[in-house]
Amino acid sequence: LTESIQKPKQKMDMLTRALKNSNYNDDTLLQECGVRIGSEFPQVEGRVLPTPNLKVGNGEDLLPRDGSWNFNNKVKGIDMVPPLGVFEEGHRFKDAPGSVRVEKMFEDMKPKFRDQDWGKPQFLLCILSKWKNSDVYVLGKKKTLCEDGILNQYFYFFELNVLLKINAKVIISLDSITAFTGILLAIEQSRGIPAVRTVPSIIIGMDVSHGSPGQSDVQSISAVVSSREWPLISKYRACVRTQSPKVEMIDNLYNRASDTDDEGIMRELLKDFESCSGRKPDHIIIFRDGVSESQCNQVLNIELDQMMQACKFKDENWDPKFTVIIA
């Protein structure tokens, strides 16, 4: 971690020392290959991209500074459906261990839901008065999602930016783990990207995360996001699936269940794009992250092939252009 957070000046000094002390140009193998290492760093022209304009839900413009923004003092109150119940932790248990506090809160909640015949809540919002070193966060997340299967959000009361995450979660579907994001932000106050604006295009991002080293039995998680409202590109739909452990290629992009039904990820994303944009895309731009150079052909032969099959299954006469960018 110490190495990864070094500032550019520190990294440049380290490389300068390495060039000076390693004497690469005295290496006979490099000399025979005609390779020579320069002693000076190449000069390249840098540029700072203009800050995008953001628009919060009430129509007010918001200009980010230093690459970030905050909703404090921007929105006074929010529109929300009345909750089924509001529960406050009693003073008696505030100094108890986190496990005791979490169990006690759930004990207090369950009778009310049972008496009102509400069943299990679909979403639980927990506002914490203390954030740092709070074991309630970890234990509460485990209890609500892993044990009880309740979608949840825990956050410190001062962190209003977390409302963006809540906004996506309240309309998430636990069946397919699909969410819509970007609803509070309406980026796109400029003319847009020419290559996307002139041709109906969908932008897709894909990545796979794996368990920690040594956890060979933990399922990998594949995530795919896609733009929704052409010619805009700031609102995305997200789809998350599990797959076999340590498998990098996404195996759920196309999943033909019958002659008329495809249960793959691409079908969901394309259906959503067509619903929001009023037409199918002519250009599919794919950003694939997390693969090595040796896996590039697998992306083309496995993942791209699945996506092309999904398009043909949706419409035999549909022949969109594909662009694959491997990061």
Of all residues in the chain, the percent with pLDDT exceeding 70 is: 74
Mean pLDDT check: name the lowest of 47-51, 131-135, 187-191: 187-191
Both tokens assigned to 94:
């505030």
Cα–Cα nearest to 286, from 302, 262, 274: 302
pLDDT digits (tens, 9 = 90+) for 150-188: 777 777 766 656 666 666 555 544 434 444 444 444 445
From the CB of residue 264, how many other CB atoms can be counted at a distance below 10 Å?
23
pLDDT score of 202: 94
Answer yes or no: are the C-beta atoms of 152 and 122 closer than 8 Å.
no
What are the domain boundaries of the chain?
1-47, 91-158, 191-326
Which stretch, 191-195, 215-219, 247-251, 320-324, has highest mean pLDDT?
Answer: 320-324
Q: Kindly indicate whether the domain formed by 191-326 is annotated with CATH number 3.30.420.10.
A: yes
Both tokens assigned to 323:
């662009």
pLDDT digits (tens, 9 = 90+) for 50-67: 777 776 666 677 777 777
Q: Strand, helix or coil at 12?
A: helix
Which stretch, 20-24, 32-36, 217-221, 310-314, has highest mean pLDDT?
Answer: 310-314
